Structure formats: structure tokens, C-alpha cells
Amino acid sequence: MFVTVVALATASAVIFGTADFFGGLATRRSRVLAVVVLSQLGGLALIGALIPFLSGSPNAPALMWGLAAGVVGGAAIVLFYRALAAGMMSVVAPTTAAASMALPVIFGLVAGDRPPALALVGIAVGLFAVVLVSREPNGPASAFKIGPVLAALAAGAGFGAFFVLIKLAPAEAGGWPLLAARAASVTLVAMLALAARRSLRPLPGSLPVTIAAGVLDMAANVLYLLAVQRGMLSLVAVLTSLYPASTLLLARYVLGERLSPVQITGVGFALGSIALIAAA
């Protein structure tokens, strides 16, 4: 069971990182709110199709936790995509991950998670890995664009709250909390766009990348749900929050964004963290 949890959480991280890469590409080609709404609709379609295969039935607590998760998650994804549009993927994604990891880890430990000693070492290594990959690759701290960094930190806090709220939903509900969450986030962002009188029409050439981002994001959410229903939040959150490693590698080899030796070391520590937790 433990190995299964590690595998699910690690796969979730890889797919989250890939989704973020596609989301970053989409926000550079189209309007941010259009990208968010359309990608979220793609994810909604996927979870709707998967519901019959995720054993469980809806109940009021599960739907309420899901709706709450969708509200904070929807706000977080808007902030995250704005940060991706304005900043470097190789800085924004790890910064968001560092913030998103803290809340569920603290919550899990306070709530009674007691990981094995080797897994605790893996958690520490994972935290260190996120710090390393979050380092600015292009020079001193003054090179930071403070706006995208602040947006990334706020988005990370929202994602961390999303992880906790999904964990609180009863496991017997299956995928229904995710369906409620995605319905809530789509509604929230669409209402925000209408209130701001922003067009939701995608710019030419952006729709395939946008839909891919949303579908991959939901696939990662499903894997996270399956992992957290079977394992400890503090472990699953750390493994899932290692997703910047795949975003960094894609940004490096597809977009040519330069990684510093410190960031490359961070990717190595991320792999070490996975190995330590898996061996516990």
C-alpha cells in the first residue's frame, strides 16, 4: 500500500509539473482568465468522464469540502497563471510549490501523521529540494520581479489549502469532491471574468495548449486524491509538491530557460526525497 501511495503521488507531481508548463505556454499566448476558464472546463469534462470509474457516492460533507476546495483552488489558479504570464516558469513554479507544501505538511503532522523515520528524512530532503529549485537562476535577488513572486506565494497558499480540504472529504465519496471543486472553480472564475467584462474567447493557436493544461491538471488531481485517500497528508503533499522538477526540465529543454547549478542540484534532491520516502 505504501509503495502505491508513493507511486501515485510521484505520478501526480510529474503530471502537475507538465500541466503547469502547458498552462504557462497558454498564458503567454492568450488572456489569463480565458485560459483559466477553458482549462478548468477541460478538467471538468475529464472528471465527469472518470466519475463512474472512481468508486464512491456523493454525500453532503464531501460536496461541501469539494466546493470549498474549488473556491480557494480557483482563486489560486488565477494568481498562478498571472504569475506564469509575467515571470519565468523556472522561478514561479518552484516558489508556488514551496508555499503549497508548507500548509498540508504542518496540518498533517498536527492532525496526527506519524511518518517513519526514513520518511521524515525524505520530507526534510524534499523541503530542501524545493528551496533549491526556487533559487533565481539569473543572478542576485534584485533580478526578481516582485509581482510574479508575490502572486506565486499567494497561489501556493491557495493550493496548499486545496490539498488539505480535499483530504478532509470522506474517502467513500470517490471522485465527487473533485467534481464539486472543479464546478465551483469554473463558476467562480467565469463570474469574475463577467464582472470584469473580460473576454473568454481564446486567441488563435492557444486553445489546444489550454485544454491540455486543464486535462493534465485534473489527471494530476485524481492521482493526488487516490494517494491522499490511502496515505498520510504530510507525505503525499511533499511528493506532490515536487512537481516543479518536471516544469523546470520542460522549460529548460523546450523554452531554453537556463537552470543554475543550484537548481539542477535541487532536482537531484527531489529524486532523492522520492527514493527515501519510497524506501521507508
Q: pLDDT tens digit string along 29-72?
A: 888 888 889 999 999 999 999 999 988 888 999 999 999 999 99
Q: Rounded to whole angstroms, how far apart are CA atoms 226 and 224? A: 5
Biggest CA–CA distance in the chain, Å, is 53
Sign of CA dihedral 187, 192, 195, 198: negative
Query: Given pLDDT bands bounded at 50, 70 and 90, which one contains residue 141?
Result: very low
Q: Which residues of 40-76 are buried (b: 16+ CB within 10 A; e: fewer)?
A: bbbbbebbeebeeebebebeeebbebbbbbbbbbbbb
What pLDDT score was predicted for residue 140?
45
> How far apart are the C-alpha atoms of 209 and 244, rounded to whole Å?
19
Is the predicted pLDDT of residue 145 greater than 80, yes or no? no
Mean pLDDT for the chain? 84
Distance CA 118, CA 280 (A): 5
Q: Backbone dihedral region of 58: left (phi > 0), alpha (psi from -120 to 50 degrees) or beta?
A: beta
Q: What is the pLDDT of residues 218-254, one digit of tens each?
A: 999 999 999 999 999 988 988 888 887 888 788 878 8
Structural domain boundaries in the chain: 2-279
Maximum average pLDDT range among 113-122, 169-178, 240-249: 169-178
pTM metric for this prediction? 0.83
**Alpha helices (H) along 169-260:** 176-195, 207-230, 233-240, 244-250
